[in-house]
Structure 1
Amino acid sequence: MIIPWQELENETLNNLIESFVLREGTDYGEHERTLEQKVEDVRRQLKSGEVVLVWSELHETINLMPRGQIRTGHEEM
């Protein structure tokens, strides 16, 4: 189920994004980016709709996923 990020408290959303960024371990190329920059990148992607917050009832977890990876028919859009 997609969770509307706009309905979360700013601190909660920030904690979710930070947790996601820290566990992803993404390589950003030649120039290392700060945690704040990475968090802002993800926040921008949420605002644009490229990325969504998804609650998994099966795993009882919340995750950020590219909108294109959401399975239609199994997840609420």
Structure 2
Amino acid sequence: MIIPIDQLEAQTLHNIIEAFVLREGTDYGSEEISLAEKIQQVHQQLKSGDALLVYSELHDSVNIVPAAQFSAD
């Protein structure tokens, strides 16, 4: 089930995005990106529709997934 981000309180959405970014692990790219920047990037992807906030009843969890990979099965 897709969760519309505009139905969440700002702090709740921020906490979900932060947990997602921290769960993704260390970035070994050529340029260091701060946690705040990563959170902002994911937030922008959610706002633009490039990523979706999805609740899984099976796993009783919330995750952020690329819109192109989302399947409502």
Tell me the equivalent position of 1:63.
63
TM-score of the aligned structures, taking structure 1 as reference length: 0.89
The equivalent of 2:9 in structure 1 is 9
Query: Gapped runs of 5+ residues in structure 1?
Result: none
Deviation at 1:27, TM superposition (A): 2.5
Identity of aligned residues (%): 53
The offset of 1:28, in angstroms, is 5.5
1:1-50 alpha-carbon deviations (Å, 9 max, x no partner): 00001110000000000000000015261111111000000001011100
Distance 2:3 2:17 in 1: 14
d(CA) in 2 for partners of 1:26 and 1:50? 22
TM-score computed with the length of structure 2 as normaliser: 0.93
CA distance in 2, matches of 1:16, 1:47: 14
Q: Which runs of 5+ in 2 are unaligned?
A: none
Q: Aligned AA for 1:35?
A: L
Query: Deviation above 4 Å: which 4+ runs of structure 1?
Result: none
- Number of the residue aligned with 1:37: 37
- Name the count of aligned residue pairs: 73
